[in-house]
Structure 1
Amino acid sequence: MTSVLYDVPGPKAILRNRVLAVVTVIVVLAIIGFFIYRLYVTGQFSAEKWYVFTFSNVWMNIFEALGNTLAAFALAAVLSLVLGFILAIGRVSDHAWVRVPVTVVTEFFRAVPVLVFMMLLYFGLPVLGIKMEPYWAVVIALMVYNGSVLAEALRAGIESLPRGQKEAGYAIGLRKSGVMRLILLPQAIRAMLPVIVAQLVVTMKDTALGFIITYPELLYYAKLLSGQQGRPILQSALVIGGIYIVMCLILAGIAKWVEVKTRHSPKMKALAADNAAVMHDGTNTELIAAQKPPKAD
């Protein structure tokens, strides 16, 4: 028996896969156990190492740093999506005078690392007499880089759609803006939603680079905590890292909820029906045009 994508494993293959799965689980648990053992042996669980986290003022500062992280992420995420849509539409333009410059700008923004952008904005602009606050340096750098990456994801989503959908939209009289807004973009967003969410998670984590330009976010405060009594370096990393993990899980959960709501939304179902009608009408138009006898000379 075979599947469409692969051969169904036989008894020996099933046994081998189960053995590999068990061995993998054992190895992972052994690594985790060894890590916990080393933490215990080196005294990382001692009260002295965690003493700094017994103060309420420390947790207030952590929540303040968390607020700074979320403030930078929220604005950078919105601006990245807006910039991504603009650049993606420019990339698929039929006009070379629009498509070529947008392509150059997008590729340039994707090639320069986020940290370099931040340092240029924060340390480089004062040389030109322009002073920029760390918050805006972080937000603009994240917007430029992640917006260009999202633009490529959206462009790929648009170009992955069947060509017949765009042609059918033109066949029933839609303008290019209508075809893009009503037919191509909604489907491209749904298709590329996992990629968009993954890039937003990257945006959230990249806010940590702001500590290099003294932006008081979570990693910046973790660095301050690591120099306190007992030097709780690993403890600060575990606490702050746990906060980042929780934020990423929440973002992924929100994205999953949006995806489910979108899939069951009456509006999206109506849009899918309209797209099917567009495809049907476009196909009929093409068939009629193909069957119509040529004019006599």
Structure 2
Amino acid sequence: MVYQKTDKGGDMSSDTHAGSNVSLARRAWAIRRHALRMAEVQGQGYIGQALGVADVLATSYFHALTYDPKDPHWEGRDRFYLSIGHYAIALYAALIEAGILPENEIGTYGMDGSRMPMSGMAAYTPGMEITGGSLGHGLGIAVGAAFGLKRKKSAAFVYNMMSDGELGEGSTWEAVMAASSHQLDNLICIVDFNDQQADGPTTAALAKGDEAPKWAAFGWHAQEVDGNDLDALVQAFDTARDLPDPRPRVIVCKTQMCKGVPFLEEREITHFVRIEPSEWSRAIAHLDEQMPA
């Protein structure tokens, strides 16, 4: 199945794997559920981030990206680079829902020999384009890939998902300047702004929350949206992809940690959300009660 944009801006696919007409809300719900099931295997994981970014990933994989789940290395694919290696559980959930990874491997998450290690590594996982780890490197890699694709006259886009914490890395802003200088209009950066990093709120560090004007000042087309509003995300992704200007594009997505599981949303949120053993099944049961059409 190849998801691609039609001339009219809609989506189509070459077959109906998992149902091409499944709503984005249902896709986001499934991504959350896959992530919870994986985290339950280990009794831990960056589940707060996975729940929060599920809507962004659903929009990416089931509205915006061109790819073939049967051939993850297809040359004509859009590239999706996960700069945030510890968000791997979220991307695995999206890759499972997209049919790139099999659902029956959920129980292997984080195990020896698994294709789904706890931090994303490209050598292990189909559909994982880069190895994430030290933050602040993903956008630089994406800039190089976007530049190379333009030199090859490819129509493919490069999507780079990064965290708000990476906005405090100097390498990020070097990449921002390079992308603008080279007019990389095939590059779309997605910033997950959940206001959490390892040592506290992001807005208490270097990124104060007014990020779009900064990117615009460097020559990017910048948008800021509610990252848990699917309609707003679809509009933002379409605007970014269809923009006629020769500029790189960024979408700053304000997301809520633990989105979709109210009893987790309501507790004090930190970078690493700790879940009690009995709470995994409770969270999954809540999702099952709220399954969208």
Same fold, TM-score > 0.5, yes or no: no
Greater share of helix: 1
- Sort the TM-score into its range (normalised by shorter chain): under 0.3
Q: TM-score, normalised by structure 2?
A: 0.25
Q: Which has the larger radius of gyration?
A: 1
The answer to which structure has the higher strand fraction is 2
